[in-house]
Structure 1
């Protein structure tokens, strides 16, 4: 179907939304408005909506819209780890992994840790669909802590990659000194230590700010929630993937900036800041990123400007 409006002629079990969540450009209820219209509601039951989107609280807007129709919202939220790169409009490279966690969205509830019988049945049914396609599926009783943990990577590594216009190999695959001791040492080698001394420690501090916010929200500091080791795990696992010679991965946010596409500032960064303020947690580094990232959306070709000399 070329449009949601043209697809709104029948009932659906599931409606999957796999767009980037950028509410300042398009709200999810606006995208799905034909399915939320009175004519549709009067004719068909509301489907289960599945949101495959990065960021936090991306479900809230849609949940409230369905609720306003006097319907019982059913929203499956997800966390996706998928190693892909798009090299052309029809060329996608799939590499190391395709993992997805699925859980029921419960607004403002971060502590319910058991699915009801109906919730478990719904998640199992949709999970089976994904498994048929080859995905590694994990059904979880509380999805928000999983999404919050995924956001660690996006806040720290997507931001640094996009702001510096460099893939993460620039952090984790440092240049080696020339084998010939008499050869000139390039600046990239002599300055590589500054990344280890300055950049990596800042990444640690950003992740620790996120950990503090998560614990303030009620996610336990153990294996059922956000264990303190998560900070080191995220950095170590990211380093392992991006230090190997064959690594070609580019963070999707970097690819968006390079191609002049909008980026997910509000759900990835802004929502963390709002949650932190609500809980009285200081996040100065994340606030700085939140204020810096919109600049990337205002990028223009430097060749279009006349440079005074």
Structure 2
């Protein structure tokens, strides 16, 4: 990665992941909280809309159930203490990394050629939005788009999701569950960021997304520090009807970065140059997810904190 920050998103190399990571058997039972949000009108993989609430405030550490889980747990604890990032977030990736963990499949690939052009598949392909143009607008350069911009020529990014989970464009992996599994829809886990409107502003920006050049005002963080976040269970003032809701659980997402051309030139295994393939599931392929908290902003609850710790759009 030629840069460590772009569009107020900080990119952090968690470390190498050159072998297939296998979680211990104790991780087989998923304990992720159930997310709840309104259904969207758009068709496609993201018809579930945005997550707004979580039914569990318990802090469930990643630990041995995730590659470099202890490091990511420490980052999450620091995230809470500092009240979130002073920018738009921190996006962690593994590099050099060439293979999805056990029980995970390739959910998206983006490669930047020598000419600077990016070829993409899966979650890196911009979604098709069926809303009218006047109803849809971008308040920030989309996260996946920013990461593709940050890739160096010759680099490739790969997203891995747990089997039977679907990736979304905010760097998260999700699986739909019955709304009834959420429990009482009149209460929710919420993160309360003590922030004012003075912490944010709008600035002019130009970027290319989905082969379209956008010149628009984007959301920008101006504050240099924030009070600690408070995560607690709260009542939802106006509980929505179940017909308008969708419920999902969040699974483990891995973001890998490698340089296939270098791997071949240096005489390393051809497996490192090939796109990660599906690995067989095991009894340890379950996921223990730390609570991110609901109601703190559209992207805060739609991103896996293990990879994207701290996108906050709360006012």
TM-score by length of 1: 0.21
Which of the pair has the greater relative contact order for Cα pairs under 8 Å at 6+ separation?
2
Task: Find the structure with the greater CA-based Rg.
Answer: 1
TM-score by length of 2: 0.21
Higher helix share: 1
